[in-house]
Amino acid sequence: MPAKKEQETWVDALRVFMRDEFGKNWTIVEDKGRARMGVRFSDGTRKYKYLPYEWKRKNANEIRHFIEAIYFSHIKKKVPFEEAFQRAKNHAPKPKEGPRRGVSKDQILEAWEKWGEFKLKIDGTIEQSTWDRGFIKTKRVLNKCTDFEDAHSLLTNVSKFHDPGIRTRVENVERVASFLRWACSDLGKNLLDKDIYSPPPKNNLGDYKGKKSRKYQEETQQRNPIDDDLIFKLLETLEPSHPNMKGKKRESARGWGYCLRLMTVYGLRPIETRNLELRKQNGKTKVWCTYCKRSVGLGVPRELFPIHEELEEEWNLIERIGNGETLPKAKEGVGEGLKNYFKNNDYWLEIKKKHDLVFYSFRHRWATLSHSDYFMSVEESSSFMGHKPETHLKNYSHILKGQQLDDVSERAKKRRRREKESE
């Protein structure tokens, strides 16, 4: 694990020094987060003392000097051990606070901005819109970090602001690790000390990203589609005339209603509702999703298919997309924004519990109807949904059973009959 590897480097060095300088009778261990020294005397008795330092890498030199002072007074000057310890304690420097070697949070943030300039203007790996949409959120998390002295503690700090395994936490960890990797390189002009701030390899960030809890996985993997009548009733609760519409709720209602309508008609992931544009094709206006997640290779720009066209027209979605209508601001992303807004919506809480719904249920509705009402193949449906056919089969194979399979079978028989008649 990264935590263990980061620790062993300095701990092993400290213990080797003590063994070489003081002998095997002098030891140092971690106990309750503090450094604890042990000494075995010639008569077989032992003494254990807590040092005034936390068991952290930033305090390694202070721990060593403290023990050196005791050893010199007690062994060389023949000062009684307890007196030698007290003398060392009285003259010991105060424990270090904050980042090691003068690297403050402000310096970390300044280096982060230089990394942004590099990625945008020199490297060109990301667009300004991507930086503004995602990387700014990671900077906000960095700004909240208060206790770090190396890569391990900084990444640990970054990870604690979100539940294990969720996309926001994974993205933040990956971005900060990438930033540290650059800041410790020649490309980053070695803005940070590589011995302290070099992060683990890309494939060894799992402990910081965490794993989704079983409960979270069960909730997010539910494949129950939401019925149209439930959608319409839910949207009614967002109307200005509804009794629950007061204050800020009313201000955000239109935006979140727009989000639900987009997911309903186009089968979008929540995050994709911010990434839509119109394109002209063969004289017709088409809606495209431009969301691409390069870090995991998710998605390419794709044309969307409206289910159903009458809803697309009734809700004026093409016009609203063309006018650049925006969604309400959500610090933790669209998915979390939906959860936070609707957590006090009585009707949503009711149908969520009764029908085992999640906000992906709007997307599951689209997948179901693409087969049952529009007779799409797996390849066609997965293309419009922005995932691979194998992913589609894994998630939605259950909706291709029963009546759907019967329909597929019947269509195949009809095609065969037509072919034979034409022979």
- Beta carbons within 10 angstroms of residue 217's beta carbon: 12
Which pLDDT score is estimated for 296? 38
Q: Are residues 171 and 56 both part of a single domain?
A: no
pLDDT tens, position by position, 74-92: 888 888 999 988 888 888 7
Verify cis geometry, omega within 30 degrees of 0, for the bond prior to 308. Answer: yes
pTM above 0.85, yes or no: no
* Residue 56 maps to a domain: yes
Q: Which one-letter amino acid corresponds to residue 240? A: P
DSSP for residue 298 = B
Q: Are residues 182 and 62 both part of a single domain?
A: no
Q: Residue 288: which pLDDT band, with cuts at 50, 70 and 90?
A: very high
How far, in Å, are 197, 206, 305, 341 from residue 311 at the CA level?
53, 43, 12, 24
Q: Tokens in use for 68?
A: 């050196």
279 touches 318 (CB < 8 A): no
Q: Are residues 242 and 113 both part of a single domain?
A: no
| Domain C-terminal end among 216, 231, 260 | 216
Q: Are residues 246 and 327 both part of a single domain?
A: yes
Which pLDDT score is estimated for 12? 78
* pLDDT, mean of residues 105-116: 91
| Better pLDDT: 74 or 134 | 74
SS3 31: strand
Q: Are residues 253 and 351 both part of a single domain?
A: yes
* Residue 371 maps to a domain: yes
Place of tokens 């202070």: 62
Residue 306 has pLDDT above 50, yes or no: yes
Give every CB contact of residue 414 below 8 A, 6+ residues apart in sequence. none
* Residue 30 maps to a domain: yes
Q: Residue 323: which pLDDT band, with cuts at 50, 70 and 90?
A: very high
* Residue 409 maps to a domain: yes
Q: Are residues 156 and 49 both part of a single domain?
A: no
Q: Are residues 19 and 139 both part of a single domain?
A: no
Give every CB contact of residue 114 below 8 A, 6+ residues apart in sequence. 188, 191
Return d(Cα 116, Cα 98) in angstroms, integer.
24
The parent domain of residue 130 ranges over 100-216
Q: Are residues 237 and 189 both part of a single domain?
A: no
362 touches 338 (CB < 8 A): no
| Domain C-terminal end among 61, 91, 121 | 91
360 touches 222 (CB < 8 A): yes
| Better pLDDT: 57 or 96 | 57
Give the mean pLDDT of the chain.
Answer: 83
CATH assignment at residue 393: 1.10.443.10
Q: Are residues 251 and 330 both part of a single domain?
A: yes
CA torsion sign, 404 to 317 to 305 to 257?
A: negative
pLDDT tens, position by position, 178-190: 999 999 998 988 8
Q: Are residues 258 and 395 both part of a single domain?
A: yes
224 touches 355 (CB < 8 A): yes
Q: Burial code of 35-44, b = ≥16 C-beta within 10 A, e = fewer?
A: bebebeeeee
pLDDT tens, position by position, 209-268: 887 666 555 555 566 899 999 999 999 999 888 877 766 667 789 999 999 999 999 999
Q: Burial code of 329-347, b = ≥16 C-beta within 10 A, e = fewer?
A: ebeebbbbbbbebbeebeb
Kindly report the CA angle at 204 between 112 and 187, in degrees rounded to 5? 35
166 touches 209 (CB < 8 A): no
| Domain C-terminal end among 48, 74, 91 | 91
* Residue 419 maps to a domain: no
Q: How many structural domains are present in the chain?
A: 3
pLDDT tens, position by position, 40-55: 988 889 989 888 888 8
Q: Are residues 17 and 74 both part of a single domain?
A: yes
371 touches 382 (CB < 8 A): no
* Residue 420 maps to a domain: no
Q: Are residues 121 and 149 both part of a single domain?
A: yes
Q: Tokens in use for 134?
A: 């995602």
* Residue 157 maps to a domain: yes
* Residue 163 maps to a domain: yes
Percent of the chain with pLDDT over 70: 84
